[in-house]
Amino acid sequence: MLSRLARITCLALVLFAGPARAGDLADFNAAVEQAESHNRVAIGYLRTGNIDLASLEFDRLREAWNALQQRFAGKRPDAFDGVALYGQMWTKVSARLVAADMMLTSGRPEAAQQSLEAIRGDLYDLRKSAGIAVLADCLRDANAAIDALMAYNDRSLDWSNAATPFGIASKAAIYGAVLDRCDGMAGEAVHQAPEFRRLIDGAKASLTFIPKAVADRDTDLLHRVLIELRSFDKLLTFRYG
């Protein structure tokens, strides 16, 4: 009888104790990704001037963020213990959402886009300060790496300067390494997704033409490859960043 009572008591504790804090980070990251998926689409629509659809996605973003805030603002995952940016992040993002709403209402889509893009930065800084990395952050690093490589998208490149081929090759190698890291850290579902594979593998394939462009000092080939890489980068950010 006592043994049976003990088993029932243990079962009750399991059922009513609630989720363990150790799993809160995964739940937090999933909830943030839900909100950010709407943010990415809203930014994409703002870039193309589709204000109506951008406003619709913005409303979904705000709803998802409110749900996230209600759940986690007062209960930070263990991974953020002692991280000052955690508390500051809620105030920052809320202010940016208010600003974006005002800009949309007043017909200033570019300013609204800036506010929404700044939210990506807030979340990146928060996770970085806690030593946490997700695919979106890796793709943000990829954005910076391709920006550095795009500096060589110049029709008047001085190939006689030894710094030019060295700079192109080194920046391309850095970008390739970041892409490999992003590919490796993607969750299984994303890693195997046809769209992700098309974009990440396409970018890697394009990079293989950089050595030829450098060896042949082929400015036109380099230009075509860089434009192609920039396109892959934008699509990866739009879908997964």
- Tens of pLDDT, residues 162-220: 999 999 999 999 999 999 999 999 989 999 999 999 999 999 999 999 999 999 999 99
| 77 three-state secondary structure | coil
Among the listed residues 56, 53, 36, 51, the one whose alpha carbon sits nearest the alpha carbon of residue 140: 36
pLDDT digits (tens, 9 = 90+) for 105-122: 999 999 999 999 999 999
CA distance 34 to 30: 6
| Residue 195 to residue 200: CA distance in whole angstroms | 9
CA distance 95 to 7: 50
Segments making up each domain of the chain, as ranges: 24-129, 135-240
Cα-flanking dihedrals φ and ψ of residue 108, to 5°? -125, 75
Average pLDDT, the chain: 89
- Per-residue pLDDT of 77-90, as tens digits, reads 999 999 999 999 99
Task: Identify the residue with better confidence: 147 or 187.
Answer: 147
User: 241 falls in which pLDDT band (50, 70, 90)?
Assistant: confident
Q: Is the pLDDT of residue 19 over 50?
A: no
DSSP state, residue 23: G
**Whole-structure pTM value:** 0.79
**CA gap 19, 143 in Å, rounded:** 36
Coil, helix or strand for 108?
coil
Q: Does domain 24-129 have CATH number 1.20.1410?
A: no
What's the burial of 77, exposed, middle or buried (CB within 10 Å: 0-12/13-18/19+)?
buried
